[in-house]
A and B are shown apart, each in its own frame.
Chain A
């Protein structure tokens, strides 16, 4: 079906019954991978991301080592069964780019300077995809880093915002993602109020972008409270 043919808003509500600026049901769990130094699962509606952190650990081959500080490596991967049409396994162009932007989204909060010659490896697996996978992955990765005891300046909290028809919406699901006028992926350091990931596609005028940034910021603060809650719960 071509873009725009599906009616995504009915009587002011979205297809899954949400209001325009309502998040999906969110679940967060720590310690889901026992072998990892830190791990977390985050679910936004039907989108499930698991992140595991290994490190700081020695980096090989040695020529990759940085004496000024550690490096962060991120691998974002979608499981073949995570989408309706099987995704052939292994990295494609999309996942290469997303891995890079997630790395850049996380890097500003980590005190990498404290780990010369080491690496911190973050693996993000999307087990079930229903839109907003990269931001769900970032939320999981940030929790996994915290639970691995990696020194951090702040958490990283992420969400998506967009526009369907004339309505500005928060937290796009798969069908909205595919049929929206525009979507923005946004990651935020909630205490320092800094943006670490910002990607947009679609068509928006500046006023709409400004409004969406506000919606995204507020949502990130809510997600931050949930992240803090789950960490407190676990290490109380």
Chain B
């Protein structure tokens, strides 16, 4: 499809939605929705729905970080969320999404992992973030990253009775010091836009996901899509992402 046609389409769709190119869809965040999870969040980004759940499990630390807890991010593109998702082990896109969310959280030093050490080299808390896509209407990465951070913010560390975890009682909040916000900026022809719908994504060829920390530092980025970009485009997209991350940050303060 020609780029002229693609941007025409997107601008028409946006007009129908009453939304500008640099505007998010309606964002709804509902924290603490899963009783059995240590932390959780349900995020709606327009029609896109994602649930993130945090579970804490005792485990061994990695050999190179014996005094730190472990962070593991996993994403499931459940077949209920889209006719294009199939059951089975996570595919390439699910793996990529999980790893982009993981890097945003890990590199921003969002969780104070060193406070999750119980016994150096032997026993630490492993923080599992499981991302479930409930409905795919585009821009899964921003929605998943947001749900994950909100889930971490309300996650609690269970009480320990020796080796046993007492699931109903909690010792303290999970130590969260930074809140990375991920914004994916798309480029079509010479225009930039954010929060693409599924329809937008079907004609978009170049995207950049940028995770921005509270202090405005960029902590993870990933270019996606089939099309190449200019260096100037990248710089512009980073600026847009930093600016727009503030809007989301206001919602989770």
A residues at B contact (CB < 8 Å): 1-2, 85, 93-94, 96-97, 99-101, 104, 107-108, 178, 182, 184, 189, 192-206, 209-210, 213-214, 217
Kindly state whether residue B108 has any CB partner on chain A within 8 Å: yes
**How close is B229's CB to chain A, nearest CB, in angstroms?**
5
Please name 30 pairs of A and B residues whose Cβ atoms are closer than 8 Å in the assembled complex, sorted by A.
A1-B64, A2-B65, A94-B99, A96-B96, A97-B95, A97-B96, A100-B96, A101-B222, A104-B223, A193-B231, A194-B228, A194-B230, A196-B228, A196-B229, A198-B208, A198-B221, A198-B223, A199-B222, A200-B221, A201-B106, A203-B213, A203-B218, A203-B219, A204-B217, A206-B238, A206-B239, A206-B242, A210-B235, A213-B231, A213-B234
- Contact between A93 and B225 (Cβ–Cβ < 8 Å)? no
Identify which of A108, A196, A202 contacts B219 (C-beta below 8 A). Answer: A202
Identify which of B64, B106, B217, B234 contacts A205 (C-beta below 8 A). Answer: B217
Kindly state whether residue B32 has any CB partner on chain A within 8 Å: no
Q: Is the interface of B mostly helix, strand, loop or mixed?
A: mixed
B242 proximity list for chain A (CB < 8 A): 206
A214 proximity list for chain B (CB < 8 A): 231
B95 proximity list for chain A (CB < 8 A): 93, 96-97
Report how many A-B pairs have Cβ atoms within 8 Å.
99
- Contact between B229 and A198 (Cβ–Cβ < 8 Å)? yes
A182 proximity list for chain B (CB < 8 A): 107
Kindly state whether residue B197 has any CB partner on chain A within 8 Å: no
B233 proximity list for chain A (CB < 8 A): 195
- Compute how far the CA of A206 lies from the CA of B234 in the bound complex, rounded to whole angstroms: 11
A209-B228 contact given A96-B92, A97-B95, CB 8 Å threshold: no
A210 proximity list for chain B (CB < 8 A): 235
A189 proximity list for chain B (CB < 8 A): 228
Kindly state whether residue B67 has any CB partner on chain A within 8 Å: yes
A104-B225 contact given A97-B95, A206-B238, CB 8 Å threshold: yes
Kindly state whether residue B226 has any CB partner on chain A within 8 Å: yes
